[in-house]
Amino acid sequence: MANRFTNSTGQYGWVSIILHWSMASALVGMYFLGDYMVGLDYYHVWYHRAPAFHKAVGITLGLLLALRIAWNFGQARPVPLDKDRRLRILAKLGHVALYLLMLVIVLSGYLISTAKGQGIDVFGLFFIPALFPDNAARGEIAGQVHGIGNSLFMVMVLLHGAAALLHHFILKDLTLVRMLGVKTGISK
Ligand code: HEM
Ligand code: HEM
């Protein structure tokens, strides 16, 4: 690897690693926050605060996702360590599904939040306007897509995490280790 920031065909660099783990923890946190906030009573102190925070973090995650996709385009892809071709295809499909679901969740979240013409304040730093005309029905559909997208996403995350642990403990390869930033010496 030329440096420790960019990927090589053998290793993940620090930019990909930091994006992976910071987004993974924020996304899981957002799932539980979303689930919690839709059950809040109107008089609860978090009734307004939780959605405002959820939306601001959600937009931030959307921007990080765009950055991550753009970063991937300019990078080498670490080659999968599976020997079985079917497992390699499965892993690839799993990664693509995770990206697509992240995209669907962010876009549907935006469409729920802006369905009544309101924009989104992102931590008082900048403001994302509502781009489309008010439409409560579109908001309803976006809400359903957001809910279903999130459930599918969590199933995929669990399968993905289980696959990583399978690699580490059963197949005993360096798949997980190289996503943790440990220099493995795999060079291809
Ligand atoms: C980025 C990752 C995100 C995750 C993991 C996530 C997760 C969730 C979950 C689990 C719910 C509860 C769904 C339900 O039980 O019906 C929810 C609701 C909601 N989310 Fe997100 N969300 C994300 C991004 C966003 C974004 C970017 C926005 C807006 C800009 C947003 C706006 C909302 C709103 C307004 C609700 C309430 C929906 C309702 O009242 O039916 N979310 N979210
Ligand atoms: C919300 C949670 C997560 C998401 C969205 C996610 C997403 C991804 C994506 C898209 C990749 C492909 C590489 C890239 O483009 O960055 C990847 C790779 C990886 N992830 Fe995750 N991940 C999550 C959680 C986890 C967890 C909990 C683990 C471990 C238990 C894990 C372990 C790995 C490993 C080891 C790789 C490298 C796979 C390889 O080299 O083929 N991820 N992840």
- What was the pLDDT predicted at 2? 54
- What was the pLDDT predicted at 1? 42
- What was the pLDDT predicted at 188? 59
- What was the pLDDT predicted at 146? 98
Distance 150 CA to ligand 1 centre (A): 8
The span from the CA of 173 to the CA of 104, in Å, is: 32
Asked whether 142 lines ligand 1 (CB < 6 A), one says no
Q: Where are the chain's structural domains?
A: 14-179
Distance 146 CA to ligand 1 centre (A): 6
Q: pLDDT by residue (tens digit) across 176-187?
A: 999 998 777 776
The span from the CA of 181 to the CA of 22, in Å, is: 13
Percent pLDDT > 70 in the chain is 98
Q: pLDDT by residue (tens digit) across 7-40?
A: 999 999 999 999 999 999 999 999 999 999 999 9
Nearest Cα residue to atom 9 of ligand 2: 95
Model pTM greater than 0.75?
A: yes
Q: pLDDT by residue (tens digit) across 35-64?
A: 999 999 999 999 999 999 999 999 999 999
Asked whether 114 lines ligand 1 (CB < 6 A), one says no
Q: Which residues does 174 contact at the CB level (< 8 Å), separation at least 6? A: 81, 184, 186
Give me the mean pLDDT over the 113-141 stretch. 96
- Nearest alpha carbon to residue 124 among 55, 46, 50: 55
Distance 39 CA to ligand 1 centre (A): 12
- What was the pLDDT predicted at 15? 96
